Amino acid sequence: MLDFEAALARAEAETGVVPPEAVQPIVDCCRAELFDFQALGEAAVDSGNLAIPMVKALTALVKVKDGRASGYVHWGATSQDAIDTGLVLQLRPFLQALDHDLGLLCKALESLVKNHRDTVMVGRTWLQQALPVTFGLKAAGWLDAADRARDRLRSLQAVVLTLQFGGAAGTLAALGDQGLRVAAALAARLDLALPALPWHSQRDRIAEAGAALGLLIGTLGKIASDVTLCMQTEIGELLEPAGKGRGGSSTMPHKRNPVAAAAVLAAASRAPGLVATLLAAMPQQHERGLGNWHAEWTALPDLCRLAGGALARTLDTVRGLEVHGDRMAENLERTQGLILAEAVQMALGARLGRGPAHDLLETASRQALREGRHLRDVLRDIPAVAAALSAEDIDRLLDPKGYLGVTQDFIDRVLQRRS
């Protein structure tokens, strides 16, 4: 808000609206360390917002230096101008830092994809083993979504980094016919976009920022969900990076708790309600919202904190992720070949027709399950199968590495999109 006030004084001097000599005394006082935050907070209870006591305190500070200049503090502006533009000015470095960290995350994910494009693991649907995939493919899905989240947040900058400056009712009346010139100069000084008109009670930019953060958090939550599921003791395919005191349990020395993922999933639990608050706050009354505008004041910062924290934790996890290819291989064998029944069925279908092949495999799979035998052995004993497929054929068909479809093409497409 102080950056807004300082730039406003400069812009108004530049456009001849306030005397040039008023600028320096104002600018000199626009330093946060001169203000008593506790006192401002308390005064805001009665005034209804933080800008009113801030302007009052700023005016008092300037007055000490230069009585006349103090008359030009906040000239022609309204509280919401300072609050909204102040928010936007805080969003800028936040969004830049987020973009930077997202860049690092995408790079770390890219390494993961490249290192594990051939690390075969089981794909799971409905939490059930389905067909083989590679860990590189799973990570390529994470990367592809993280790239989209980054694009979305970059586009957002053009939308949300926009000056709010409208005066008491959005007409800049107090500046006479100079309002637009001042607004343009102010936007230029703050390096913000000049909107077609003030957006004091049109809050879609703010809600869109919240939605973009919610989408990022959801994407990070997907990674965290996969990691925690793969970290289960019974699965053990992935582990969050270890460290002294990290994720340990005071009573169970062998556990590796997914503490970073828990923080990310907590963010993913919190974000939807916060985005909903911002959307619900959109129908603001007339020329300034009442209650709904005020709800934004905590909801959007909460989302920023959650997004920043979730991203930092995810970056840390992805960089140090332990990938246990041995456990992945073991888990591929859990169903004793059943997850590759489809591979055999497709091969058999080409020779016997789809229907008979389907029925044969259904019978064989159930038998394997019932008798606790490997599907390979059951299949070999079925004459109709044996007539169509050799033992080597069956072995080959039941090798997970041989039934990955266009996994590598999909991975290439994700990587190429980035290069």
131-to-114, 123, 217, 361, 403 alpha-carbon distances in Å:
21, 5, 28, 15, 8
Identify which of 354, 358, 340, 357 has the alpha carbon closest to the alpha carbon of residue 403. 340
Identify which of 192, 169, 172, 190 has the alpha carbon closest to the alpha carbon of residue 180. 172
Residues 6+ apart with CB under 8 A from 170: 197, 198, 200, 201, 287
Q: Is 166 helix (H, G, I), strand (E, B) or coil?
A: coil
Q: How do strand 120-125 and strand 128-134 relate by DSSP bridges?
A: antiparallel
Q: Which two tokens stand for residue 128?
A: 């059930």
Determine the residue type at 300.
L
How many other β-carbons are positioned within 10 Å of the β-carbon of residue 181?
A: 17
Q: Give the whole-angstrom CA distance, residue 119 versus residue 408.
A: 11
Q: From the CB of 194, what's the least distance to a copy of itself, in Å?
A: 9
Q: Which of 288, 327, 380, 396 is flagged as catalytic?
A: 288
Q: Give the whole-angstrom CA distance, residue 96 versus residue 409.
A: 33
Q: From the CB of 234, what's the least distance to a copy of itself, in Å?
A: 5
Q: From the CB of 106, what's the least distance to a copy of itself, in Å?
A: 13
379-to-366, 393, 404 alpha-carbon distances in Å:
11, 11, 21
How many other β-carbons are positioned within 10 Å of the β-carbon of residue 226?
A: 18
137-to-113, 347, 412 alpha-carbon distances in Å:
7, 24, 10
Q: From the CB of 391, what's the least distance to a copy of itself, in Å?
A: 21
In the chain the first and final C-alpha atoms are separated, in Å, by: 40
Q: Give the whole-angstrom CA distance, residue 303 versus residue 267.
A: 8
The stretches of 48-167 forming alpha helices (DSSP H) are 51-65, 67-70, 79-115, 135-160
**Opening angle at CA 353, ends 347 and 358, nearest 5:** 70
Q: How do strand 238-239 and strand 128-134 relate by DSSP bridges?
A: unpaired
Confirm whether 47 is a catalytic residue. no
Confirm whether 270 is a catalytic residue. no
Q: Which two tokens stand for residue 197?
A: 């008109």
DSSP string, 200-212: TT--HHHHHHHHH
Q: Which two tokens stand for residue 6?
A: 């300082």
Q: From the CB of 75, what's the least distance to a copy of itself, in Å?
A: 8
Asked if 375 contacts 338 with a C-beta cutoff of 8 angstroms, the reply is: yes
Q: Which of 249, 351, 354, 418 is flagged as catalytic?
A: 249
- Which residues are marked as active site? 249, 288
